[in-house]
A and B are shown apart, each in its own frame.
Chain A
Amino acid sequence: MNLKRLTPIAIGAAFAMALGLGTTAAQAQKKISILTWNIPYFEEGMNQWKEMFKKSHPDVTIEWLDKKGTEFSTFYQTQVVAGTAPDIIDVQGGLWLEYASQGGLLDLTPYLKRDKAFTDGLYPEVVNGWVFEGKNYGVPFYISKTLLFYNKLMLKEAGLTNPPATFDQLMDYAAKMTKGEKSGFMTLNFDWLYWPIFAENGIDLLTPDLKKAAFNTPKAVALVEKLAKATKDGVINKISWTGRWVEPNGAFAAGTIGMLNAHAPAYLWFKSKGPWVNEDTVGAADFPGRWSTPNSHAFLISKGTKHPEEAWEFVKMISSGDGAYVFGTGSNNLTGDKAANSRLMKYFAEKIPVVVPVLETQLKHLDKLTGNWPIAKDAQVKEAFYPELQAALLGDKSAKEALDEAEKKVNRVLTRR
């Protein structure tokens, strides 16, 4: 019986050896692992990074791991429990706040202070997005924030010329563009990306001290009622409130969405999906009121790293100068480094001019970023808040009832252990 069990194992092992698979021999060198967030296409650039780093640090090897967003935290947290956390992680959203509050991340403030020349090259507003309780945990990797894409053909069809400048105009235009299978407005909504709608209407999620819910105001009730009505009438496509992203981008590419509130990377995605998309057919504008929610990525370093100095050096290299430029050209994104971005804008103007107007919005109005509250319980607050709001927006609850309930739940999360 045992033989029977062993045979397949032996076959497997033989196979593995014959094909030269299996794990490589233990390294005598220092090893740094970097876990990135869904950039599997970046292999060539990653190899360039490795080469560049080898020149200054021949004793360090870089291990690259990449996971997509849905499994990222599952993988990372399992590694943390096992004590083998990747040294450097690339994150988006509010996930990192929980890690930081638990003491799982390295405080980078001293490093940023020490390497002043490097730090001065970054956008301070973006760097500040990674501060929790006075300590800085992240170095900007690539930056993106929301903007308003609009379908010029649909706009024209509705007898309009310019994108909306105020929120009321936005709703008005959206209504005019809606008919049949066509919806006037849609928004992405993961990671609080829809929050500019609320910010523009003067609503904040929490009080300035971040201790209590602040969103339950008569103004908010009126806004939610308005949004719910527009949603019911099909003016706002219902998928806006589901949190999915493939569908909104696909729908915009199909030409059935008038205006889309989305982050910059969505542009090239729906452009590759809709051959009709170009400068003449799709416009990029600031969201009314110029509010936007950042969806930037940053590099963070795990507390458990054995080589913090080397990890920091690597992060510095890849997030500035040539390292950042390599990523910008490899992914068509802007980075957190000012100098690299001016080079990148020249590169884009030459290679992919259509993307330039979109990317230009990304560097403006950095003072009007919203949708980020540096609280440890970001994810829990969202869990408490959003389903209630969703119920109101989709017409399953009255706005007042939903916001009351959401307020109660959010406050409970904030005061709980």
Chain B
Amino acid sequence: MAFAIRRKRTRELLLIWFFLAPSLLIFLLYRIIPLLWNGVLSFEFWSPYKPAEFAGLYHYEEMLLYDDVFWQAFWNTAIFMASAPIGILIALLVAILVDTPIRGRNVYRTIVFMSYPVMTVAVGIIWQWLYNEKVGLFNYVLVSLGIVEQGIPFLETASLALPAVIVASIWQVLGFYMIILLTGLQNIQPSLYEAAAIDGANAWMRFRRITLPLLRPSIFLCFVIGIINSFTNFDLIYVMTDGGPSHATELLVTYIYRVAFKLAQFDYAAALTIVNFLFFVFLAWLANRLAGGEVGAVETG
């Protein structure tokens, strides 16, 4: 009997690992090995043309002690990520609203989603124009309404450029959040609401007691997406400001890309990559802890 159970357990374990294997293999090839490559490179002097030389902590020292741009990009990235909850909240509201049985919800969903797949290059130029100091739409409206006397140079002012880019990035990622949250809402059994309604719980109580806790895995996922949004939004920032003015919208990812491919300093870029990675993993670990230890560990009866 015990033997049979153990055999069954072994079979189950085999199945689990067999199921994980293809995904793990892809991540090994396209994530883990490249990360290790960066890890090795970060301790070397290297260029595509020359054999590598051991550099010790040279690049890390440069980064942490001397490179102001790194620190600016670091804090910009932190601010960028800290703005994620705004987008998630709006998306949550939208998701709940388009999950109600109202007429035309397909249209609403599509419109909100549409900004996510549209090609960034074209939209980036539109956003530049929207923010344009003299002829942009936002300033046209502000000036016409008499709210400001002269146009505001959103993208050319160091203190406004990052918020301006964040707004554009929330616009872009909102549809992504929405679809994740919508999937989460679908996972909630209708019977739970029925039971609660019978118990006399009002809409707010149902939201607090059922929707929110059961949506926790999806919300957590949105936070993780919010963390990595700085690189999924890379193109938009790159097109809109290229990290400027004066690095005001420089994020770690735009900086790494610039250092690697524009300045041809792959070794230094590798060191930046490793620090960036450790920072993000720490945040993901923290988010995971706050979300209850394990992603999606919420049990339903």
Contacts and interface: CB of A to CB of B under 8 A. Distances in A.
**A contacts B: CB pair < 8 Å:** yes
A104 B156 contact: no
B53 to A, nearest CB: 10
B134 A237 contact: yes
Contacts of B245: 241-242, 387, 390-391, 394, 396
A379 B49 CA distance: 18
B246 A391 contact: yes
Contact of A104 (B49, B134, B266): B49
B263 A238 contact: no
Contact of B135 (A99, A256, A390, A394): A256
B155 interface: yes
B261 A391 contact: no
B48 interface: yes
Given A103-B49, A379-B262, A387-B244, A254 B135 contact: yes
Interface in A378-403: 379-380, 383, 387-388, 390-391, 394, 396
Given A104-B48, A234-B134, A390 B244 contact: yes
Contacts of A73: 261-262, 264
Contact of A242 (B47, B125, B244): B244
Nearest to A231: B156
A15 to B, nearest CB: 22
A102 B156 contact: no
Contacts of B18: 1
Interface in A255-314: 256, 303
A260 to B, nearest CB: 14
Contacts of A350: none
Interface string B241-252: 110111100000
B296 interface: no
B141 to A, nearest CB: 14
A243 B242 contact: yes
A31 B133 CA distance: 51
Contacts of A383: 69, 258, 263
B156 A242 contact: yes
Contacts of A247: 125, 128-129, 132
A328 to B, nearest CB: 29
A238 B241 CA distance: 13
Contact of B264 (A1, A303, A379, A417): A379
A244 to B, nearest CB: 7
A1 B47 CA distance: 43
Nearest to B159: A396
B183 interface: no
A376 B150 CA distance: 43
Contact of B48 (A80, A238, A380, A387): A80
A251 interface: yes
B153 interface: yes
B275 interface: no
A102 B49 contact: yes
Interface in A73-100: 73-74, 77, 80-81, 95, 98-99
Interface residues of B, number: 36
A254 B129 CA distance: 13
B22 interface: yes
A190 B142 CA distance: 31
B187 interface: no
B157 interface: yes
Contacts of B244: 242-243, 387, 390
Contact of B128 (A1, A80, A182, A244): A244
B261 A74 contact: yes
Contact of A238 (B156, B246, B258): B156
Interface string A206-238: 000000000000000000000000000010011
B50 interface: yes
Nearest to B242: A243
B158 interface: yes
B264 A394 contact: no
B153 A238 contact: yes
A13 interface: no
Contacts of A181: 134-135
Interface in A99-158: 99, 102-104
A104 B49 CA distance: 6
Given A256-B134, A256-B135, A379-B262, A239 B48 contact: no
Contacts of B264: 73, 77, 98-99, 102, 379
28 contacts: A70-B238, A73-B264, A74-B261, A80-B49, A98-B264, A102-B47, A103-B49, A103-B50, A234-B150, A237-B133, A238-B156, A242-B155, A242-B244, A243-B242, A244-B128, A247-B125, A247-B128, A247-B129, A380-B265, A383-B258, A387-B246, A388-B246, A390-B244, A390-B245, A391-B158, A391-B246, A394-B153, A396-B245
Question: Nearest 8 pairs between A and B by C-beta?
Answer: A238-B156, A102-B49, A391-B246, A387-B246, A80-B48, A181-B134, A81-B48, A74-B261
